[in-house]
Amino acid sequence: MRRPNGGVVIVGAGQAGVSCAFKLRALGYAGEITIAGGEPHLPYHRPPLSKKYLSGDGDAARLLIKSRDLYESERIRLRVDCPVVAIHREEKHVELADGGVLGYDHLILATGARPRCLPVVHGARAPKVHLFRTLADAEALRESLVRDRHLLVVGGGFIGLETAAVARNLGMRVTVIERDQRILSRVACAETAAYFRALHEDNGVRVHEGVALTRLEQGENGTIAARLSNGVSIEPDVVVAGIGVVPETGLAGQAHLLVDNGIVVDGSGRTSDPFIYAAGDCARFPYRGQRVRLESVQNAVDMAEAVARAIVGESVEYRPVPWFWSDQYSTRLQIAGLNLGYTHVAVRKAQGAARSVWYYEGPRLLAVDAINDTKAFMSAKRWLEAGWSPVAHEIENPNVALADVSLSGQSALIN
């Protein structure tokens, strides 16, 4: 069979895929670019789904990453509602669900991640149980968020807590259960977790830590009974499962690319096949002597742009200073860096409820959680990018201005 025209094919119509396509054009890439995605919509921003969009503030059109005419003007072919079902590496083409074939010179996997499901035995298929990842998920859930109804959130991570905050603002009764000993246990220290537990409890959310869902039982009249590991049974009207995500590696695995909790790539985003790259939530890349996978808009954009530079022939070594954010009630959490391997934290209190939590490995700054404190976030981000660490005991002293904190030199972060 004659191979179709080449160029760049991008599998996944999310933030990473769109960012890579437009960066390629900005760098002067003149070949064909095709984005193939499985959802029926134009590519959209996901972070607002659990924030403003879920609360009913705004419509789907405001979520679009780019307008339709921009894809046309940049000669980027967009195939929505048309997922890729197979990669044929020897022939250098992908097979589409509609039977079509796209040839490529370079293939980019921007397949993202999918939410973890509650086991079927827990009642995961009950109509009142929601997952939360896509626009369709958000639309289905926000129809169920009705004043005075009872929402059960399974999982005390950022998605679960953001959903809880939206529901409380809408007048719902909310219960959050987290099977680990505290909320945010996989992403934040005890000090940050304690702040957000208190924030939710002050807003009327019941938070149960060290408590797992053992079973969901659906009654004949449509009611749901949630059996918890502490022996308690509750009857929520709506259940949201926010128990993390799994990288979408099915296509990569079927094509015998190297996969290990994500699609394994080098510092330029290249997989074990030199003609195939990966970027965004699905990619696991070198970072400070280990491999990590990041789920953030910043990583999706920056890594995708690094891949674009590699495709046009630039020498690339992706060295991010990650940043994230979460909005809950009137509180904004901004995170710079990654706290992997931290040995201790320094807490800095600012005006009012503002504070920041600084993560250290010995004297070396790794990350910061800035709570309603943009100045701390920006200072930490700048220092991390420059390879400087503020002295911890001065960070803890509110009488020492951030501008006056002593800095110790260090080499740039080594991937």
Find tokens 């197979």 and name the residue. Answer: 86
Give the distance, in angstroms, between the CA of residue 391 and the centroid of all CA atoms in the same chain. 31
Confidence of residue 411 (pLDDT cuts 50, 70, 90): very low
Is the Cα dihedral 101, 105, 108, 109 positive or negative? positive
Confidence of residue 13 (pLDDT cuts 50, 70, 90): very high
Q: What is the pLDDT of residue 5?
A: 61
Q: What is the pLDDT of residue 69?
A: 97
Element (H, E) at 194: helix 190-202
Mean pLDDT of the chain: 93
Confidence of residue 2 (pLDDT cuts 50, 70, 90): very low
CA atoms within 13 A on the CB side of 293: 21
Domains present along the chain, CATH in parentheses:
8-114+246-311 (3.50.50.60), 117-243 (3.50.50.60), 330-409 (3.30.390.30)
pLDDT exceeds 50 at position 387: yes
Alpha-carbon span 106 to 140, nearest angstrom: 37
> Hey, what are 307's tokens?
């891949």
**Cβ–Cβ under 8 Å, residues 10 and 17:** yes
Q: Sort 203 into a burial class: Cβ within 10 Å, 0-12 / 13-18 / 19+.
A: middle
The distance between the two most distant Cα atoms of the chain, rounded to a whole number of Å, is 73
Confidence of residue 365 (pLDDT cuts 50, 70, 90): very high
Print burial letters for 149-186: b (CB count within 10 Å at least 16), e (below 16): bbbbbbbbbbbbbbbbbbbbebebbbbbbbbbebbbbe
pLDDT one-digit tens code per residue, 222-263: 788 999 999 999 999 999 999 999 999 999 999 999 999 999
Q: Sort 126 into a burial class: Cβ within 10 Å, 0-12 / 13-18 / 19+.
A: middle
Q: What is the pLDDT of residue 59?
A: 78
Q: Sort 74 into a burial class: Cβ within 10 Å, 0-12 / 13-18 / 19+.
A: middle
Q: What is the pLDDT of residue 122?
A: 65
What angle, rounded to 10 degrees, do the helices at 297-311 and 15-26 form? 40
Give the distance, in angstroms, between the CA of residue 275 and the centroid of all CA atoms in the same chain. 26
pLDDT one-digit tens code per residue, 36-95: 999 999 999 999 898 888 888 777 888 999 999 999 999 999 999 999 999 999 999 999
Beta strands in 162-243 (DSSP E): 173-178, 206-209, 213-218, 224-228, 233-234, 238-241
For 11, the 3-state DSSP assignment is: strand
Q: What is the pLDDT of residue 120?
A: 66
Q: What is the pLDDT of residue 415?
A: 38
* Residue scoring higher pLDDT (2 or 164): 164
Provide mean pLDDT across the span 265-292.
97
* Residue scoring higher pLDDT (129 or 367): 367
Ramachandran region, residue 12 (left: φ > 0; alpha: ψ -120 to 50; beta: rest)? left
pLDDT exceeds 90 at position 3: no
pLDDT one-digit tens code per residue, 158-216: 999 999 999 999 999 999 999 999 999 999 999 999 999 999 999 999 999 999 999 88
Q: What is the pLDDT of residue 1?
A: 38
Which is nearest to 206 in space by CA: 256, 242, 152, 132? 152
User: How many residues would you count in the chain?
Assistant: 415
Provide mean pLDDT across the span 312-333.
96
Side by side, the strands of the sheet bearing 206-209 are 129-130, 238-241, 150-154, 173-178, 206-209
Confidence of residue 8 (pLDDT cuts 50, 70, 90): very high
Least confidently predicted of 42-56, 95-109, 140-154, 302-316: 42-56
pTM (two decimals): 0.93
